[in-house]
Amino acid sequence: MAPRAGWGVQLVADVRAALRLRHASPRTEESYLHWLRRFVVFHGGRHPARLGPDAIVAFLNHLALEAGVAASTQNQALNALVFVVRHALGLEMPELDALVRARRPRRLPVVLTAEEVRLVLAQLEGMPRLVASLLYGSGLRLLEALSLRVKDLDFASREIRLRDGKGRKDRVVPLPESLAPALREHLATRVLRLHERDLADGFGETPLPDALARKYPNAAREWGWQWVFPASCRFVDAATGRERRHHFHETAVQRAVRRAVLAAGIAKPASCHTLRHSFATHLLARGYDIRTVQELLGHRDVKTTMIYTHVLNRGGLGVQSPLDFGEARSGRAPEIAAATAREPGPSRLGPS
C-alpha cells in the first residue's frame, strides 16, 4: 500500500513513540530523527518503506566515502535506520553485505596533568567552574553533571548518586570534599533563591523523568527535584504548555572551558571531556584498581577503561629513554645537552 499524503509527520510521530516506549533519552530521539530526515532527503523524499537494503547501503556508503564521517557517526546512522525499519515500519532488517564501514582510528584520549587542570579551573568562575570541577573531581560526563538534581548530592556521605546515566545505568561517584563548601554556597545563595522567586511568581517546576509527573503531581516544585545547575531563563514545555526551568546549557560550559584552556596557555586540544579523561588517568596513576575506575566511569566493558593505561604519565609505553640512563647517572647528560647547544664550527670539508 502506498504511503498516504503527509506520511512524513506520521512517520516521525511513530519513531518518536517507539523510542519513548523504550525509554530512549531525548538525545537519542533527537539523533535518530536527524538521521531519518537525512536519509529521506538523500533519496529524494521517498518513503523509507519503498526503499530496500540497497538504499540504506547507498546512504551509509555515502557517509563513509564521500562525507568522510567518523566510524562512530556512521554507526549512529546505521543504528537509527535499523530502529526505524524494525520498530517504526515493522519490517525485517536485511543483511547489508555491500556496506563499506568507516574506519575507526585508534586515538589516545587527551589528558591534562594535575597542574594543567589547576590552571584551567583557575580561569573559570561561577557555574562553569563548579561544573568543570565535577567533571574532573567526580569523573562525570558533561550532561551527567548538568542533569544533577539537589537530592542527588549527599554531603554527609560525600557521594553523588547518578540516576539514569548513559545506558540508563545508576552509579555512585565521589563528591570532592574540597568542592563541598562551594557547592553548598551555590545551592543556598543562587539555586534556592532562584527557586523561591519562581514559586513566588507562580512557577518553580522542573521537567521530571518518565511518568513521575503523573504519579507525583507536586514533585516538580519540590526542592529536591530542582536542578543543581539551573538555566537563567524559563522555557515553555511544548508537551504540556507549562512554563518551566531547564538546566544550564552544555554549550555555555563548553565555551567557557575552551576559553579557559586558551587563557591558561595550554596547547593540547582539551575540552570538557578531557577533564573526565584526566580523572580516570590520575586515579590509575595513584594506584587505584582499574575495575574501581571502570565502575566510577560507568563503562560497560573494562576494555574501554584500559585505554587510560596507555596515557599514564610515564613516558612512551612506560619506557625510560636510553638518554636518561647510563649517561644521566654518570653526569654526562648535561655534557650532551651542552654539546648540542654549541655553535657549529667551520666544516673541515670546506665549502661544497
**pTM of the prediction?**
0.74
- The pLDDT of residue 351: 42
Q: Is 151 a catalytic residue?
A: no
Q: Is 276 a catalytic residue?
A: yes
Question: Which entry of 166, 190, 242, 258 is annotated as an active-site residue?
Answer: 166
Q: Is 4 a catalytic residue?
A: no
- The pLDDT of residue 325: 65
**138 close to 190: Cβ distance less than 8 angstroms:** no
- The pLDDT of residue 230: 95
Do 61 and 132 lie in a common domain?
Answer: no
Number of structural domains in the chain = 2
Residue 167's CB is within 10 A of a number of other CB atoms, namely 9
Do 113 and 67 lie in a common domain?
Answer: no
- The pLDDT of residue 6: 63
16, 80, 81, 84, 222 from 49: Cα distances, Å: 17, 15, 11, 10, 46
Do 28 and 171 lie in a common domain?
Answer: no
Do 69 and 162 lie in a common domain?
Answer: no
Q: Is 247 a catalytic residue?
A: no
Q: Is 104 a catalytic residue?
A: no
- The pLDDT of residue 176: 94
Q: Is 166 a catalytic residue?
A: yes
Do 62 and 123 lie in a common domain?
Answer: no
CA distance 170 to 165: 6
Do 193 and 234 lie in a common domain?
Answer: yes
- The pLDDT of residue 275: 96
- The pLDDT of residue 271: 96
Do 309 and 276 lie in a common domain?
Answer: yes
CA 71, 72, 73, 74 torsion: positive or negative?
A: positive
Domain extent, residue 246, equals: 106-315
pLDDT mean by block of 10 residues, the chain; 352 residues: 61 90 86 94 89 88 86 90 89 79 75 96 96 96 95 95 75 94 96 94 86 82 95 84 89 97 96 95 91 92 87 59 58 47 45 41
Question: Which entry of 38, 47, 242, 273 is annotated as an active-site residue?
Answer: 273
Question: Which entry of 129, 141, 247, 277 is annotated as an active-site residue?
Answer: 141
Do 120 and 245 lie in a common domain?
Answer: yes
Do 115 and 58 lie in a common domain?
Answer: no
